[in-house]
Structure 1
Amino acid sequence: MAKVNRARSTSPPDGGWGWMVVAGCFLVTICTRAVTRCISIFFVDFQTYFSQDYAQTAWIHSIVDCVTMLCGLGFALCYSPAIAMVGKYFSRRKALAYGISMSGSGIGIFILAPVVQLLIEQFSWRGALLILGGFVLNLCVCGALMRPITLKDDQTTSEQNHVCRTETQGFQRASPSSTWTKEWVQTCLCGSLQQEYSFLLMSDFVVLAISVLFMAYGCSPLFVYLVPYALSIGVSHQQAAFLMSILGVIDIIGNITFGWLTDRRCLKNYQYICYLFAIGMDGLCYLCLPMLQSLPLLVPFACTFGYFDGAYVTLIPVVTAEIVGTTSLSSALGVVYFLHAVPYLVSPPIAGWLVDTTGSYTAAFLLCGFSMIFSSVLLGFARLVKKMRKTQLQFLAKESDPKLQLWTNGSVAYSVARELDQKDGESVAIAMLGSNPT
């Protein structure tokens, strides 16, 4: 096979072929996340055909989401690498690039929701799934757009790994069975892994990981149960599919506008807070959902939830990059999306069990809402504690350096500091005279 030529750059180019990578990631999110979320339209048909309750039927959707985030199988081999590639090509306009890329999920839902409902009516759920499978084959085209790029940091890491591999091969040829050689190989491999995944020991990343678990638990069930909930309150099948379309198109607006807004100078330093705000708003939307019992009330809900869902999805890679840096972004994103797996697996069946047990969607939606709010509060509290600790350390530093403290006291500081310097100079002069009596 032909050898792939890697583009070399000292920093992310913020354009050029990067926009083709954005287009490829956009198509990837349509073929993966949008198709996955449209499975909820099949929910009632699955439930009727297999004669199962809510909890059992929900496993179909939850397993698809879980395996996508958990393994190197199917969608996972497309989704995470495509997102990581966007981060390699953009720095200054990273949030906007991610906003456009992730908007594919919303556009896909907007287009596919009514189309899937029509396909089910025309060809049954089996035929609709076959057609969706053919559509997903477009992922092959998306992969062709992912041209690798080597940045300055990547070159440094690659050179270090190359030196390590060269030395290891030399030692192995010299003494292949030596205990010292085996220890060297193990040390080299452990060093490479430690360098690649050193972010796992960062307290900020640990807090982010815990927050992601609660956020993922809350966000998944809505895309499974919005259509069944709408049908349970008397909304028709077409109108329920229309709700999913609204959710999708507003998700697009959230992706792009929130990405553009948080790239502005006034909000550039507050992307973390914007991320927390978006997650918290989705949690509040969940808490209000049980009170919405008609289509005119569900439409504003779909608009609000869809907008902030698109908003925080756009900022996940941005917040991750802020914590771990660009060099480890690919591995860190892999871990973050991996952490989505278990909540995606268990949350829809748990919500279905609550619906089966209580005969209502209220408990399921409230649990999801509080989970997302807790995710936002946890990250906000961690950031507040970090800021307070930083302020305390700065205060202690000033206390330990009297001259540094004097400089912060206004116009008197200069004269006082000058007097201290003069006294220090006099002390030095006296010491020198004492040591040299002539």
Structure 2
Amino acid sequence: MQTFSLVKYLEPQDQFIILSLLQCFGLIFKDTFSYLRCTATQGALVVNVNAALGKLIGPITGVLLKVYGCRRIALVPASLLTLGMVLTSFCRSFAFFVVAYGLISSMGMQMSESTQRLALNFYFKKKRSVAMGFAVTAAGFGPILVPQLIRVLMRVYSTQEVALIYGGICTHVFVAASLLQPVTWHMKEERNNPEEGLLLDEKSQECEKKRETLCGTILTNIAKIFDLDLLKDPVFDNILVGLALATFAEINFTLLMPFILHDFGLKTGEIATFLSILGVSDMLFRFVGPYIGNYFTKPSRLMYVYALAILTVVRFTLLISKNYYVLLVIAFAWGIAKGVRKVYMWLVIPDHVSADKLASAGGIETLANGICILVGGPIMGALRDATGSYVVCIVVMNCVTLVTILMWSAEAVIVKCRGRNKTKVKE
């Protein structure tokens, strides 16, 4: 299908850069943070502000995507991401890091992710999980290759120069944005099907009506614009809270991992090897994950829960061993869970929400994620400062993940019991 080729080019380029930047920020700037005498709380605040602030504008991003489409909006985060990373290379204070990396880069990263996510879910319906698997698998090359690239660059260039080089790499997001063409541009061959042609016409009319509604009632009908009626659905609310908690735990664990390994006494080269092994297994199971789910005919949310359970076990295992070779095995196991989680985390809400409300649902989700990360992130840093190690932080993040598993399990039990009661009443 022609549309897949466009998504195939967009996803790897954007996510190759964004995911690698998230993972390698600590690898690039850990010495700078030590030189500036930043506390663990300040370091955690920088990475969590980056992870959270961009998500706080999620509902606004959702509205912009509905009105202007994915391609035009994708150019905005490309500009913000490039500008933010270039400015980050010149950071010499905690406050500057918060503004350049925590604010500007964050908006670029999160808006870009929201755009890609919406585009791929719009382009595919029947084989959405497989398409998502291909896209995130290709993107997975970033966390494998970039840590080794950073490792080599750090031997030749200063921290500032390495960050500036990465800012130049971020300009490739402009190319990715230009490739995100509307799907209707590539569906001429399929117009011979009258039903599909009718559907396209209906969608075009619906889009026009939505644009008129949004432009005419943006100040008087906020609830309708942002589709806040989604919050009336208790299942959606449960999904929303569960995803926010799990995302908070995983992002913090990922962002703090270089600092945790540094705390364990690992050198830069050993940390880079750990991250690359993690990236290899992550990429492998991004590709395999959808086929496993399809083979066992398991829904996206259940596959996501399985991944969370494995992540929890892996994090607890990290606490009981600091042997380098055991840590490499843990990295591989962690990558397995991350790969499966990455595929299905973007499918949980699309499987529950109708297509016309998908952009708004994604925006609400990113807002919830942002609030959770912004509130909980500094707590992780404070715990590190208070205890002198990351052990308590890992335990807390695991407990947060377990809350998601318990919430969704409780919902499944309630729904099953209600179904039985309805069956008995009918009989």
The reply to whether TM is greater than 0.5 is yes
Unmatched runs of 5 consecutive residues or more in structure 1? 1-14, 170-181, 399-438
How many residue pairs align between the two structures? 367
Matched residues in 2 for 1:133 and 1:255: separation?
Answer: 27
Matched residues in 1 for 2:285 and 2:41: separation?
Answer: 31
Residue 287 of structure 2 is aligned to residue 289 of structure 1: no
Question: Of 275, 282, 290, which residue of structure 2 is paired with 1:251?
Answer: 282
Give 1:16 shift: 2.2
Q: Deviation per CA, 1:244-302, whole angstroms, max 9, x where unpaired? A: 111112111121111222233x32x4332111111121122222211121111111111
Residue 191 of structure 2 is aligned to residue 145 of structure 1: no
Residue 7 of structure 2 is aligned to residue 21 of structure 1: yes
Matched residues in 2 for 1:41 and 1:270: separation?
Answer: 36
TM-score normalised over the length of structure 1: 0.76
1:234 counterpart residue number: 265
Higher Cα Rg: structure 1 or 2?
1
1:293-372 correspondence runs (5 A): 293-372=322-401
The percentage of counterpart residues that share the same residue type is 17
Contact kept, 8 Å, 2:136 with 2:286, in 1: the verdict is: yes
Contact kept, 8 Å, 1:106 with 1:247, in 2: the verdict is: no
1:279 counterpart residue number: 308
Contact kept, 8 Å, 2:300 with 2:344, in 1: the verdict is: yes
1:5-404 correspondence runs (5 A): 15-71=1-57, 73-149=107-183, 156=202, 159=205, 162=208, 189=221, 192-193=224-225, 196-264=227-295, 266-267=296-297, 269-398=298-427
Q: Deviation per CA, 1:361-382, whole angstroms, max 9, x where unpaired? A: 2111000111112112211211
SS in 2 for 1:51: coil
User: Residues 164 and 131 (structure 1 numbering): CA distance in 2 closer, same or farther, change over 3 Å?
Assistant: closer
Give 1:242 shift: 0.9
User: Residues 364 and 186 (structure 1 numbering): CA distance in 2 closer, same or farther, change over 3 Å?
Assistant: closer
User: 1 or 2 for the larger relative contact order (CA 8 Å, sep ≥6)?
Assistant: 2
Q: Deviation per CA, 1:48-74, whole angstroms, max 9, x where unpaired? A: 221121111222222222233223532
TM-score normalised over the length of structure 2: 0.78
User: Residues 394 and 148 (structure 1 numbering): CA distance in 2 closer, same or farther, change over 3 Å?
Assistant: farther
Matched residues in 2 for 1:302 and 1:239: separation?
Answer: 12
Contact kept, 8 Å, 2:223 with 2:229, in 1: the verdict is: no
Matched residues in 1 for 2:218 and 2:43: separation?
Answer: 47
User: Residues 215 and 45 (structure 1 numbering): CA distance in 2 closer, same or farther, change over 3 Å?
Assistant: same
Contact kept, 8 Å, 2:28 with 2:163, in 1: the verdict is: no
Contact kept, 8 Å, 1:24 with 1:145, in 2: the verdict is: yes
Matched residues in 2 for 1:322 and 1:310: separation?
Answer: 19
Matched residues in 2 for 1:168 and 1:16: separation?
Answer: 31
Letter in 1 for 2:136: M
SS in 2 for 1:74: helix
2:68 counterpart residue number: none
Q: Deviation per CA, 1:28-87, whole angstroms, max 9, x where unpaired? A: 111222212210213421322211211112222222222332235322332111111111
Unmatched runs of 5 consecutive residues or more in structure 2? 62-106, 185-195
1:434 counterpart residue number: none
Matched residues in 2 for 1:165 and 1:284: separation?
Answer: 47
SS in 2 for 1:246: helix
Contact kept, 8 Å, 1:224 with 1:348, in 2: the verdict is: no
